Structure 1
Amino acid sequence: MSNIRAKLLRIVEELSDEEYENLKFFLEDEDKKIKIPRGILKDISKPNLVNTLINYYTSQGATKVLEKVLSKVPRNDLLPIKIGPLTRKISQDRPTKLQENQSARKQKIDSTPKFPGSRITTLRELKELELNDMSYQKDLTVRGKILEKVNHNYINNQAKKMKVFHATIADENDTIQVKVYNREHGEFRKGANIQITNFKYSNGVINVTRNSQINKLASKVIKTTKEVPVLSLREIKQKPEGTFVNGCFEITTFSQPIKGKDKSPLRITITDGSDQINVIIFKPPKILSCEIGKYLKMLGIKVNVYKKEIQLRHQCDSYVKVQ
C-alpha cells in the first residue's frame, strides 16, 4: 500500500497549480456510484488527495481514477501509471511484526468489514454524500461512539410488534441519528465504540437491521466530538421536509384527539423560548400524559408540511415522552 501511495503522490506532485485545480475539477465530475464530496476536494493538499482517493476507491481503483482524470487535464506524459510489486523477505520461522500485531488485534477484536470493498467513511462525509434511498449501503462503513440509546417497542403498520433502539453516535467531527431494529441489547450499548456495515441511510438517519453488521471496537479507537449539537426549533423548521429530528422542548398547549374519530390526532405545541411548532401524533401512546409546562422528549420525529404549515409528525416507530 505504501508503495502505491508514494507512486501516486509522486505523479500528483508533477502537476502545476493550474493542472492540479483542473484535476480536482474533473474528479468532481467522475461518473462513479460513490463520489468524493466537493467540500472535501476544495482545499485539499496533494498528499491528502492521494489518501482520499485510496480511501474511497481502494488502491487499484484510485490508480484507475487518477489515470482517467490525468488524461483530461491533459498530462498524458504521466500515463500509464505503473505500480511495481512490493517485495519483502519474510522469515519462515518467525512472523513479521505486522503479522504479530494483526494477530493480537484479531484476538482482541475483529473490526474487519464482512463486505469486501467497503470503505470507512466519517459521519460528516456520509451526510455530504446526500444518499436518500432505503437500499443497503454495502460499500460504506461508519464508526462512532454511542452517546445516547433509548429502547422502544411499537406496533408497525402491518400490526407486527417491533423493537427499536433510538440512538445518537459520534465520531471526531460530527454526530448522527441511528435507528436499530430488532437487534439484541448487548450489540448496541451506550458508551460503546462500534462499527456498522451494510446499513440503510435516508433523511439523515442510519437504519440498522438484522442484515447489518455491528462490530465492537476498542475504547481508544474513536475520539468523539466534544460538542453534541442541539437543534433549536428555528433550525428544525429550516430542515428539508422528511428529515428526522430529535429534541426536548417545553409544552405550551395541547388538544386531545376527538373521541370516536380515528383520524383525529393529538396536537401538542412546543417552544424553546424563541420559536414554537406543532407536534402531530395519531394514535398516541396511552401512557403519554401531557401537561403544560412539562417537556416533550422526541426521538425520530419527522419534519412535515401540511397546508403550508411546518409541523413535526410522529411516526409509528417514533419515541415520545413527557418529563
Structure 2
Amino acid sequence: MNHGEEVKDQSLKVKVIKSFKNFKCKYRNTDKSIFYAILADDSDFIIAKVIDRKGKKDFSKGASIIFTNFKYWNGILEMTEYTKLEKLTGPPVEVPMKIREKAKKGILLEEVKKLPLETIVSGLFNVNKWRKVKNGYILTAEDETGKMDIAIFNQVDQIILKDNKKMHFLGFKVDMFEPNQYEKKLQLKSTSQSFVQVMFLYSYN
C-alpha cells in the first residue's frame, strides 16, 4: 500500500492483538473519539487508528476480523465510520508467536533513528525518567537498542507518568530539535492524535 492510499477494493483479515481505550482529540478540525489497535496476520502487524466507530466490541483481544474501505497513511491504517468491518465466521486468523511478540513491542528505537522526519511510529518503551516543561513533558525512553527523548505536548491531562514503567506510545512522529546552536537530536514528538498508556502486566495475557 502506498502513502496516503485509500483502499476500497482490498480486504484485510487480521487478528486483534490489543486495543486501547478511547480518547477525544481533533481530527480534521472536528472533535472525534479515537482508539488505537494492534492488528496482525501470519506475515506482519500494523497499528490501526480507529475513528468514530461505535463497535469497539469488534476489537476485543483475540478477535479475527475482516474489513475493507480503509486508508493507509504514513505507516498507520485508518478506519472510519465508512470502513466496512465484520467478525470472521470461518477459521480464525493464525498469528505466529514471532509476529505476536514483534507486534507487542512495536518499533525499536534503533529503527526509529533510520526513519525520515515526520514518520508516525508506535512502540513500547521503558520510561527511566521524565521532567515537566512548559505545556508538557520530556521523557527519556529506552529499549534493548538504545535511548531517545520523547516530547509530549498533546493529551497532557490524560497522561499518568511513572518512573521505570513500560509505556505504550502510539501515533508519535519522528522529529529533530536543537537543544543548542551546536547540536541536533532526534526525538519522538506527540501530535494531536497521539496516545500514551502504561503497560499493565495482564495487557497481553
How many percent identity over aligned positions? Answer: 27
In the alignment, which residue of structure 2 is the partner of 1:145?
15
Aligned CA distance change for structure 1 residues 141 and 242 (closer, same or farther; 3 Å):
farther
Higher relative contact order (CA 8 A, sep 6+): 2
1:309 aligned partner, one-letter code: K
1:100-154 Cα shifts (integer Å, max 9, x gaps): xxxxxxxxxxxxxxxxxxxxxxxxxxxxx4x111x52112221111111012212
Whether contact under 8 Å (2:67, 2:85) holds in the other structure is yes
CA contact (8 A) 1:153 1:161 kept: no
Q: Larger % of helix: which?
A: 1
Q: Supply the distance in 2 between the matched residues of 1:177 and 1:152 (Cα, whole angstroms).
A: 15
Q: Which runs of 4+ in 1 moved over 3 A?
A: 157-161
Aligned CA RMSD, in angstroms, stands at: 2.3
Measured at CA, do residues 226 and 218 of structure 1 come closer, stay the same or move farther in structure 2, by a change above 3 Å?
farther
CA distance in 1 between counterparts of 2:28 and 2:92 reads 40
Which residue identity does 1:190 align to in structure 2? K
**Structure 2 contact 38–47 (Cα < 8 Å) conserved:** yes
Deviation at 1:319, TM superposition (A): 1.3
- Alignment pair present for 1:226 and 2:97: yes
2:116 counterpart SS class = coil
1:292 corresponds, among 163, 174, 189, to 163
**Structure-2 change in CA distance of 1:212 and 1:284 (3 Å):** closer
1:289 shift after superposition: 3.6
Task: Give the counterpart letter for 2:114 in structure 1.
Answer: Q
- Residue of structure 2 in register with 1:310 after alignment: 186
Distance 1:219 1:226, change over 3 A: farther
Q: 1: CA distance between counterparts of 2:96 and 2:49?
A: 20
Contact 2:154 2:191 in 1 (8 A): no
Kindly report which structure 2 residues correspond to 1:16-31, keeping only aligned pairs within 5 A, or say none: none
Alpha-carbon separation, structure 1, partners of 2:119 and 2:96: 22
CA distance in 2: counterparts of 1:165 and 1:286, whole angstroms: 17
Q: Deviations over 1:228-270 (max 9, x none)?
A: 3133211222233333322222223322123xxxxx4421111
Which of 57, 61, 67 is equivalent to 1:196?
67
Unmatched 5+ stretches in structure 1: 1-128, 259-263
- The answer on 1:242 being equivalent to 2:118 is yes
Measured in 2, the distance between the counterparts of 1:148 and 1:322 equals 14
Distance 1:234 1:223, change over 3 A: same
